[in-house]
Structure 1
Amino acid sequence: MFNQNPQRCLRGLKSEFTDIAHRAEKLFPILTHLTVETACRAIVDELNYSISQIDPKKTINMGAFRLKPDGSLTDKKVPLARSETNLSELLDGVCGSMSDYALHVDPDTKKKQYKRFAPRSSDAGDFPDFNNFKFDGPEGSNALQFACESIVEEFEDDIISLFAKETDHVVDKLCNEVSDHCKGTKFQSDEL
């Protein structure tokens, strides 16, 4: 399974994203590969931000909660931020933040990509140049939200598993390898 040809894996990944895009195009004609790619990258960005806002000292009890022969409980504490319970809750709300993204056109290169325009509470005073954003009304954010929901629905277990154990290169692994289909490939686009 993991010894697949990287080209074959890339075709498989492109096929999966293309399937999502084709399903969504029926509802949102403006949905493109760029929208699906941005949604994938935005999921990672939003989850990483939400995880970073949780106190690293907070833990949650996990385990079978069974009694040992001596009468004590067998459970273990894991960091709350990357626990499956917390990640599942964060994932349930991640697509709601897609309304904070809009199409951005680089003034020099004319490259189009969706970027976050709404500053977070920790970004106080760090406002982007709104002249380079194209706000296409609710249709744009709805298409991005639909792409996000499609990705989350299809790959929820893989996303949770990846965030539970990974801290680096999550964008590469989620957006290129999606559930470990294509190990060893690199993400080709700029970061959000």
Structure 2
Amino acid sequence: MSSLKYLLMTFALFVPSLAVDTSELKCQVCSSLVELIQQNVSSVSPTRVVQVSNFRLDDNGNQPKQMVPLSRSQVYLSEVMDSVCKKMADYVRATFKENGTLIVMPLMVDGKMNPLMSEVDVVQDSDLNKSLEYYCDDIVDDIEDDVIKIMKSETSKNAVYAICSEAVQLCPIKQNRLEL
């Protein structure tokens, strides 16, 4: 009889991790990924610029060159994309206690425990959240060109929506409805 109780308790621990919808999880990972990229881009001083050029020559046989902010350069954004998913090791899946909504969030914020930890229940994950990094790598492979294009533009105000909802359609597009 005690082995049956042990089996039921073990099963109960892993039920929350089985109930997570992968499409919702991918949406959350995509949102966190884009936010991490934006943090990297905003951490670079706007005064740091690089000289870029294309391989075409103008009418005079000169190669046109221009200066762009380092944080918006193709090389910098590609480097960020190559390393950003490793940071997902510091993230966990959780659900808000109030409404059960899934969230992928960092454990630490500014060197301190995430203040949201008291408002969420961490979802027990059998792979110790390695799947977050896997999903992140998978998403980066799919969206790298879109992310670089959007992040290079100066008007990337709502990049999470532009990338995760419009470009790769991992997150549902929320309709603005007037409820009576």
Percent pairwise identity: 24
Summarize deviations over 1:75-115 as a string: whole Å, max 9, x none: 11100011111100000011111112112222222323222
Aligned partner of 1:111 in structure 2 is 101
Question: Secondary structure at the residue paired with 1:174?
Answer: helix
Aligned partner of 1:47 in structure 2 is 37
Task: State the number of aligned residues.
Answer: 154
Does residue 80 (structure 1) correspond to residue 67 (structure 2)? The answer is no
Question: Secondary structure at the residue paired with 1:114?
Answer: strand
The structural deviation recorded for 1:150 is 0.9
Question: Structure 2 stretches of 5 or more lacking a match?
Answer: 1-18
The structural deviation recorded for 1:163 is 0.9
Contact 1:117 1:128 in 2 (8 A): no
Summarize deviations over 1:49-93 as a string: whole Å, max 9, x none: 011110110001101478889898631110001111110000001
Higher mean alpha-carbon deviation, 52-61 vs 124-133, is at 124-133
Taking a change above 3 Å as real, the CA distance of residues 143 and 114 of structure 1, as seen in their structure-2 partners, is same
Match of 2:83 among 93, 103, 110: 93
* Structure 1 residue identity aligned to 2:152: A
CA distance in 2, matches of 1:71, 1:32: 54
Contact 1:66 1:75 in 2 (8 A): no
TM-score by length of 1: 0.67
Cα-Cα RMSD: 3.1
Taking a change above 3 Å as real, the CA distance of residues 67 and 99 of structure 1, as seen in their structure-2 partners, is same
Aligned partner of 1:150 in structure 2 is 138
Match of 1:35 among 25, 42, 46: 25
Where do 4+ consecutive residues of structure 1 move more than 3 Å?
64-74, 124-127, 135-138, 185-188
Question: Structure 1 stretches of 5 or more lacking a match?
Answer: 1-28
Contact 2:90 2:106 in 1 (8 A): yes
Taking a change above 3 Å as real, the CA distance of residues 32 and 155 of structure 1, as seen in their structure-2 partners, is same
TM-score by length of 2: 0.71
The structural deviation recorded for 1:140 is 4.7
Contact 2:93 2:123 in 1 (8 A): yes
The structural deviation recorded for 1:161 is 0.8
Summarize deviations over 1:23-69 as a string: whole Å, max 9, x none: xxxxxx97712221111101110000011110110001101478889
Higher-Rg member (1/2) = 2
Does residue 159 (structure 1) correspond to residue 143 (structure 2)? The answer is no
Does residue 58 (structure 1) correspond to residue 48 (structure 2)? The answer is yes
Taking a change above 3 Å as real, the CA distance of residues 118 and 85 of structure 1, as seen in their structure-2 partners, is same
